[in-house]
Chain A
């Protein structure tokens, strides 16, 4: 079950934040009803904790229904990022700008999900500083499992 919060974005577009698990019941009707033809849609997906196999189909269908609108995905969660490496067509023509992925501080051990650009090797080239001690954090995963690598 997901919760969707919708509001305007700075550039006259529509902005929606999706939180929860995407499963067979996900339709995204709230977004589809409010998005005007041609309007830019920005989806924030860092709250998506999991996607089931039926959710994969529901999400793909939702992305298709957004049609030819410009769709920008911000801070896709590790769950979404990992699915996209296995199912590259999942997000259709949407542009992913950033991913919120797991990092761990080698100095103080803090674990945090942090936002980095959605580009190859960003987990290394844009490794964040620990919010606790300021040390450069290590990616708690492999880029190949969460970021574009082709």
Chain B
């Protein structure tokens, strides 16, 4: 058995296990981990994973393509049993959407990251993909390791120091005005119709969720969820929602925070799993929420980031890639980053 040498001239903040046999993924993931000061323990398959001392590993990056025929959840289970308590990043290029979303039921999965070009399910002879975006992954891991307990807005997903715009939303009218401001920025940047549509969908759905689904009473019961969405609503001062947005030419970022922290992993999983079985993607009857908002936001975004601290805040951020063509953005797929269960 080969010995694992972990000598490094650089100061490291821990190590990460990376399970992949895809050269582009090795390179891009190693760059992402390196950018946040994490050394790499590489394994070509789950059978070759190396034991690590308790507390040494900060994260496991599992490439589901190490065995494209395996049940994705079984692969995750294998990894989490080998490295108990270590959070997992899953990435994939083969049938990426389906296989990545299939891992969501596992609580150890905190980040699902498509390989560039692997999202759209094309026939195998047309299939071609790179590794996951190292810049986006590094930002996601930096946020996780920082263990922030407050909303961060759009800034982490823009060039460092880039300005963002804020708006407080306290009513349906405010929501319309805020949405209009976001779309004015998109129009001023002369983004294509499809890019503008994705921004509009994400912004509106995040605001609707924060206005109607988030507010809770003292007993934790949703107070606005059953309201008729056609009627205007006015939020009390402590129910108001903060919108932050900006665009640095690469990413258009929209972030919406409420003061309740009610979003949980189960809700996200139920919503996104509708993408695995489109026959289940039906709007709920009645006049309250249609139950499709998060799914549509995820479909519109290239990254969806959910951060919640129960009783304090939920912040959901949608990142739309706007440099290059619409096709380029679609090929990047939709990553999901969850900061819901404490520090990564």
Contact = CB atoms under 8 A, between A and B. Distances in A.
Interface string A86-110: 1111000000000000101000000
B205 A25 contact: no
A142 B329 CA distance: 11
Contacts of A86: 275, 278, 281, 295-296, 299
A52 B295 CA distance: 11
Given A102-B326, A140-B326, A144-B120, A52 B201 contact: yes
Contacts of A139: 327
Given A88-B278, A139-B327, A113 B193 contact: yes
A138 to B, nearest CB: 8
Interface in A99-150: 102, 104, 111, 113, 138-142, 144-145
Contacts of A51: 201
A53 B205 contact: yes
Given A102-B193, A142-B122, A144-B120, A87 B282 contact: yes
A144 B121 contact: yes
A3 interface: no
A124 to B, nearest CB: 11
Main secondary structure of the interface of A (DSSP, over half): mixed
A56 interface: yes
A54 B290 contact: yes
B331 interface: yes
A85 B289 CA distance: 21
Given A53-B290, A57-B283, A140 B327 contact: yes
B325 A79 contact: no
B284 interface: yes
Contact of B208 (A53, A57, A140): A53
> Contact size class for A?
20 to 34
A89 B279 contact: yes
Contacts of A104: 325
Given A52-B204, A140-B325, A78 B194 contact: yes
Nearest to A88: B278
B278 A141 contact: no
A60 interface: yes
A56 B325 contact: no
Contacts of A25: 230
B292 interface: yes
B307 to A, nearest CB: 22
Contacts of B320: none
Nearest to A55: B290
A89 B277 CA distance: 12
Nearest to A21: B200
A50 interface: yes
A113 B326 CA distance: 12
B194 A140 contact: yes
A55 B192 CA distance: 22
A69 interface: no
Contact of A141 (B194, B281, B285, B289): B194
Interface in B106-127: 120-122
Contacts of B296: 52-53, 56, 86
Contact of A49 (B197, B275, B278): B197
Contact of A54 (B229, B275, B299, B331): B229
A139 to B, nearest CB: 7
Contacts of A23: 204
Contacts of B57: none
Contacts of A52: 201, 204-205, 208, 296
Contacts of B291: 53
A138 B299 CA distance: 23
A62 to B, nearest CB: 12
Interface of B: 120-122, 192-194, 196-197, 200-201, 204-205, 208, 229-230, 275, 278-279, 281-285, 289-293, 295-296, 299, 325-327, 330-331
In the A-B complex, list the 7 residue pairs whose CB atoms are closest, starting with the nearest: A57-B283, A53-B292, A142-B120, A53-B290, A53-B293, A57-B290, A140-B326
Given A25-B230, A142-B122, A142-B330, 14 more contacts: A21-B200, A52-B204, A53-B205, A53-B208, A56-B292, A56-B296, A57-B284, A87-B278, A102-B192, A140-B325, A140-B327, A142-B120, A145-B120, A145-B330
23 contacts: A21-B200, A23-B204, A49-B196, A49-B200, A50-B200, A52-B208, A54-B283, A54-B289, A56-B290, A56-B292, A57-B284, A60-B283, A78-B193, A86-B299, A102-B193, A102-B194, A102-B326, A104-B325, A111-B192, A138-B327, A140-B325, A140-B326, A145-B120
